């Protein structure tokens, strides 16, 4: 059965004709290295990513990206809301601020480092 559909790509509309194929009538294409009539080999799934340990006082990355700047140093006193670091993701900078006042106990990242969502950046005690 043929159907006409309108799709828009980058603001330009196109009318296309598609044909629905019956799954039973469609010839099965063999996988490379697998003979017709045999089962496909099992594919091992990747292990889940290791959980990152987050301790009390850790300030974590709100999203994955690249650390552009680390604005504090170990031992520095910071106020609640003070800028701690700048994270770049998808061409946008996100300022990481202190969730509370305290002393910077540890830095876990440096400028240029790629981080994942939830990864500890530093610790405030």
Domains recognised in the chain with CATH numbers:
58-124 (2.40.50.100)
**pLDDT, position 40:** 55
**Splitting the chain (125 residues) into consecutive groups of 10 residues, what average pLDDT does each group show?**
78 78 58 60 53 80 95 96 95 94 96 95 95
Strand partners of residue 86: 69, 95
Q: What are the structure tokens assigned to 24, written together?
A: 């039973």
Determine how β-strand 2-9 pairs with β-strand 12-19. Answer: antiparallel
């Amino acid at each position: 059965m043929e159907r006409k559909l309108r799709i828009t790509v980058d603001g330009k509309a196109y009318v296309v004709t598609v044909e629905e194929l019956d799954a039973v009538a469609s010839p099965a294409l063999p996988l490379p290295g697998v003979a017709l009539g045999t089962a496909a080999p099992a594919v091992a799934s990747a292990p889940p990513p290791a959980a990152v340990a987050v301790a009390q006082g850790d300030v974590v990355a709100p999203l994955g990206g690249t650390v552009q700047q680390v604005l504090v140093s170990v031992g520095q006193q910071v106020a609640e809301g003070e800028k701690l670091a700048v994270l770049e993701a998808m061409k946008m900078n996100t300022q990481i601020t202190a969730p509370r006042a305290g002393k910077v106990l540890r830095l876990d990242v440096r400028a240029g480092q790629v981080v994942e969502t939830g990864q500890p950046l530093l610790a405030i005690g």
